[in-house]
């Protein structure tokens, strides 16, 4: 049997990248999946968002490994939409055991020059949207009385301040406080809450013009091959980035009984970035 056999997981940002990888990994280990993604543009993002076709591909890949899945386009800024999807999934699968607040974006700019709209967009998606993700499903978990596991995707930027993404840093730091507060509040229901803090992960959030330019400001239009050494330079281990599957392996540990007494914790997967 798989490590999450018979459980049901709600995953945001599931159309590609880490969210897709998490959905596939948990399905391989026996879980059924409730998946959402925005599948629409985000105004300030310097890279394209996932598409409905990307979400369809996630459905295909989950089913290919034997999982069952429902998937809908939904915005983490819309609590009613998220709740509706969760309610549909619980009606179909009979329970909810896992919530992965994974969806997020990165945009760029100096805090001293940033528009209020750019700041608010980041807070609404990367911080409030994660709270709404939890809020959309946690009452189902409490009512069922089966306990559960919630994992919020922060970043090394939730533990360290990087230049030119101060609003992102602020939101990701906020997720640490949200994690700890939820862990205290939900402990009596045997619901565990932890955060993960990845370094560079090879997804469209990393491989885009804005991020490449941040690492190679000396070049007009740096490409991925131009930034490999710069990406690797921030790590102790000699790698430029982690793969989404590396984070999924950590997620699997945190939502399985292997971590049954772990809550309120911050788990770093950063190839040594934070100690360098």
To the nearest 10°, report the CA torsion of 72, 18, 141, 265: -160
Token duo for residue 228:
């490999």
Token duo for residue 102:
């994974």
Q: Which of 47, 162, 168, 267 is labelled catalytic?
A: 168
Identify whether the C-beta of residue 150 lies closer than 8 Å to the C-beta of residue 108. no
Active site residue 267: no
Radius of gyration of the chain (CA): 18
- CA 245 to CA 97: how far, in whole Å? 21
Identify whether the C-beta of residue 247 lies closer than 8 Å to the C-beta of residue 206. no
CA–CA distances in Å: residue 271 to residues 71, 215, 258: 32, 17, 22
DSSP letter for 193, please. E
Q: How big is the chain, counted in residues?
A: 276
Q: What are the residue numbers of the active site?
A: 168
């Amino acid at each position: 049997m798989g490590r999450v056999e018979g459980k049901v997981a709600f995953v945001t940002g599931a159309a590609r990248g880490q969210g897709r990888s998490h959905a596939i990994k948990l399905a391989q280990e026996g879980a059924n999946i409730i998946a959402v993604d925005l599948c629409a543009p985000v105004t300030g993002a310097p890279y394209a968002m996932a598409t409905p076709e990307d979400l369809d591909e996630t459905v295909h890949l989950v089913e290919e490994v034997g999982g069952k899945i429902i998937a809908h386009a939904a915005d983490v800024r819309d609590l009613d939409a998220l709740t509706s999807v969760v309610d549909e999934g619980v009606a179909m699968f009979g329970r909810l055991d896992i919530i992965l607040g994974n969806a997020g974006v990165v945009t760029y700019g100096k805090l001293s020059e940033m528009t209020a709209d750019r700041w608010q967009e980041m807070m609404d998606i990367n911080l409030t949207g994660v709270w709404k993700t939890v809020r959309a499903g946690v009452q189902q978990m409490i009512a069922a009385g089966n306990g559960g596991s919630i994992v919020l995707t922060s970043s090394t930027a939730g533990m360290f301040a990087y230049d030119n993404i101060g609003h992102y840093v602020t939101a990701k730091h906020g997720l640490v406080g949200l994690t700890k507060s939820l862990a205290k509040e939900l402990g009596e229901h045997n619901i565990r809450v932890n955060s993960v803090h990845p370094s560079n992960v090879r997804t469209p959030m990393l491989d885009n013009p804005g991020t490449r330019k941040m690492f190679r400001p000396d070049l007009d239009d740096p490409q991925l091959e131009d930034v490999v050494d710069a990406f690797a330079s921030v790590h102790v281990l000699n790698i430029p980035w982690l793969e989404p599957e590396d984070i999924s392996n950590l997620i699997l540990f945190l939502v399985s009984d292997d971590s049954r007494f772990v809550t309120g914790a911050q788990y770093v997967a950063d190839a040594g970035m934070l100690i360098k």
